[in-house]
Amino acid sequence: MIKWRDVVKFVNHGNPEPPRKVYKTDEDWKKVLSPVQYKITRKKGTEPPFSYLKNELKSGVYKCVCCGEPLFDKYAEFDSGSGWPSYTQPVAGNKIKYEKDTSHGMVRVEISCNVCGSHLGHVFPDGPEPSGLRFCVNSVSLRFEPLTNIQK
């Protein structure tokens, strides 16, 4: 489980190796993404709060909208009240890249997809236990894939 001390370590000493790497030029990303997706994921945009519909499905996985890498499980999602989708953990320790972000007069930790570099949002140390983390993510940056073959 990733905790805040791990996030600080990644920011200061480097991130884990990603499971794979995807590289495309800006022009190529523009061809496969909508203008809003491009602005948020490739140009570090932020969607307005409360701009997404609550996902009522019970199980599935949120994938990177750019490269399709699975990033967050549905069960790690919680309602933080912030207006952005929030998660307590990524699906694995090497899926997310953590970097210091000093924009807008704040010191924050930016999170992006470790495979393709897509901007996701930020992570904060005020989430629920046991991880204590809140991964605050633009809904535009993720694509939900429901789990369809649930054994009864």
Q: How far is the CB of 66 from Zn ion (least distance, A)?
A: 4
Q: How far is the CB of 136 from Zn ion (least distance, A)?
A: 17
Using CB under 5 A as the binding rule, the residues of this chain from 113 to 132 that contact Zn ion are: 113, 115-116, 118
Residue nearer to Zn ion on the CB measure, 3 or 24: 24
Q: How far is the CB of 56 from Zn ion (least distance, A)?
A: 25
Residue nearer to Zn ion on the CB measure, 67 or 96: 67
- Residue 137 is a binding residue for Zn ion (CB under 5 A): no
- Among candidate residues 114, 136, 100, the one with its CA nearest the CA of residue 69: 114
Q: How many CA atoms lie within 13 A of 149 on its CB side?
A: 0
Q: How many CA atoms lie within 13 A of 126 on its CB side?
A: 9
CA atoms within 13 A on the CB side of 118: 32
Smallest distance from Zn ion to CB 130, Å: 27
> In 3-state terms, what secondary structure has residue 39?
helix
**63, 145 in Cβ contact below 8 A?**
yes
Is 67 known to be catalytic?
no
- Total number of residues that touch Zn ion (CB under 5 A): 8
Q: Is the peptide bond before 90 cis (omega within 30 degrees of 0)?
A: no
Site for Zn ion in 19-78 (CB under 5 A): 64, 66-67, 69
- Per CB under 5 A, residues contacting Zn ion are 64, 66-67, 69, 113, 115-116, 118
State the catalytic residues: 136
